[in-house]
């Protein structure tokens, strides 16, 4: 792949997109294109088509999505389904029409059935019911995977889907209403420490198991997919290691320096019991994560502290 190739990163201001942008720049790619949501509404098909006709990107990386945790998914099912379908469909179709040969579609491990053998293999897609608390987002992402697969099958283009496990890192979302579990815990423990080591209440029982990947490692997997022709259409991206939510909380508590009590609110949902990814296909091709969990949490907490003024206006609820 030439370093001068024109690469459009959809969602380049988000946690994942910004990490991809930084990693591409670090790797020497110097023809990157991005548009904020104010500059380009990806839900508007006409605007997306006009952008592609004007900019003519050669590679498209789709890191744009409406995302959130259990609360957000449960509260806004229509938006999580429809907004994500419109965003990805417009990007995929405009790429096909515009002659884009390489398209990298980013999804999520929530595409797999709620109750499936562990670790989750790519072959398990569409073999059982989804987790109800995020099925709207999952269904949207599954349609994106299938759209890329069908283009690959019908037109022979290099359109590939990467399914990351739970991502976290710098530029994460720390809004307690819409954030995922790891950044929400960082904020809760930090604010409890600042308030005199008060108790922290967390959702569920703490027993579900989760896998977490630092966002810079995800970005490196995208560059790996960019610089290689991957033989299949769908790949899991993760660490291949998981831990309980209770263990996660204790690790974050240690990094933050909180010494108060942790209270588990068992009236709140746990979500999927376990979501460990089988990443043997990516490992066989030569990609592997670099950042271990505690190191990644330290980097993320450091970024949070550096940007804490941006989070103060939203109080813990």
Catalytic residues: 137
13 is in an annotated binding site: yes
233 is in an annotated binding site: no
43 is in an annotated binding site: no
14 is in an annotated binding site: yes
180 is in an annotated binding site: yes
283 is in an annotated binding site: no
Contacts (Cβ under 8 Å, ≥6 apart) of 67:
137, 173, 180
User: Quick check: bond before 119 cis, omega within 30?
Assistant: yes
31 is in an annotated binding site: no
Cβ-contact 235, 281 below 8 angstroms: yes
Cβ-contact 205, 256 below 8 angstroms: no
119 is in an annotated binding site: no
Nearest by Cα to 210 from 258, 172, 180, 166: 166
Q: Cα–Cα distance between 296 and 184 in angstroms, integer? A: 15
16 is in an annotated binding site: yes
Q: What is the largest CA-CA distance in the chain?
A: 61
The two structure tokens encoding residue 271:
């979500």
141 is in an annotated binding site: yes
164 is in an annotated binding site: yes
203 is in an annotated binding site: yes
99 is in an annotated binding site: no
Cβ-contact 51, 98 below 8 angstroms: no
166 is in an annotated binding site: yes
**DSSP-assigned states of every residue in 17-73:** HHHHHHHHHHTT---EE---TTT--TT-HHHHHHHHHHH--SEEEE-------HHHH
Q: Cα–Cα distance between 126 and 139 in angstroms, integer? A: 10
Q: Which residues are annotated as a binding site for NADP(+)?
A: 11-17, 106-109, 141, 164-167, 180
Binding residues: 11-17, 106-109, 141, 164-167, 180, 188, 203, 210, 270
Annotated binding site for substrate: 188, 203, 210, 270
């Amino acid at each position: 792949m030439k370093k001068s190739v024109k690469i459009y990163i959809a969602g380049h201001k988000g946690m994942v997109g910004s990490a991809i942008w930084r990693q591409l720049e670090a790797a020497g790619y110097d023809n990157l294109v991005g548009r904020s949501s104010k500059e380009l509404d990806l839900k508007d098909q006409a605007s997306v088509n006009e952008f592609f006709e004007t900019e003519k990107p050669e590679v498209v990386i789709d890191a744009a999505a409406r995302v959130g945790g259990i609360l957000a998914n449960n509260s806004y099912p229509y938006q999580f389904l429809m907004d994500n379908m419109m965003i990805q469909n417009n990007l995929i179709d405009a790429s096909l029409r515009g002659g884009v040969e390489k398209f990298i579609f980013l999804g999520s491990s929530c595409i797999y059935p709620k109750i499936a053998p562990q670790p989750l293999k790519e072959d398990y897609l569409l073999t059982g019911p989804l987790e109800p608390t995020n099925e709207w987002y999952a269904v949207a992402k599954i349609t994106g995977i299938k759209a890329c697969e069908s283009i690959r099958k019908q037109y022979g283009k290099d359109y590939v889907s990467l399914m990351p496990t739970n991502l976290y890192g710098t530029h994460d979302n720390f809004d307690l209403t819409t954030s995922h579990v790891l950044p929400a815990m960082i904020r809760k423990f930090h604010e409890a420490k600042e308030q005199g080591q008060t108790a922290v209440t967390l959702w569920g029982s703490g027993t579900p198991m989760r896998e977490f990947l630092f966002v810079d490692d995800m970005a490196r997997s995208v560059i790996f997919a960019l610089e290689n022709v991957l033989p299949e259409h769908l790949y899991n991206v993760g660490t291949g290691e998981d831990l309980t939510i209770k263990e996660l909380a204790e690790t974050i508590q240690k990094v933050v320096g909180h010494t108060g009590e942790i209270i588990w609110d068992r009236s709140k949902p746990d979500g999927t019991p376990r979501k460990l990814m089988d990443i043997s296909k990516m490992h066989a091709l030569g990609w592997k994560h670099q950042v271990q969990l505690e190191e990644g949490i330290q980097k993320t907490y450091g970024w949070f502290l550096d940007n804490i003024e941006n989070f103060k206006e939203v109080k813990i609820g």
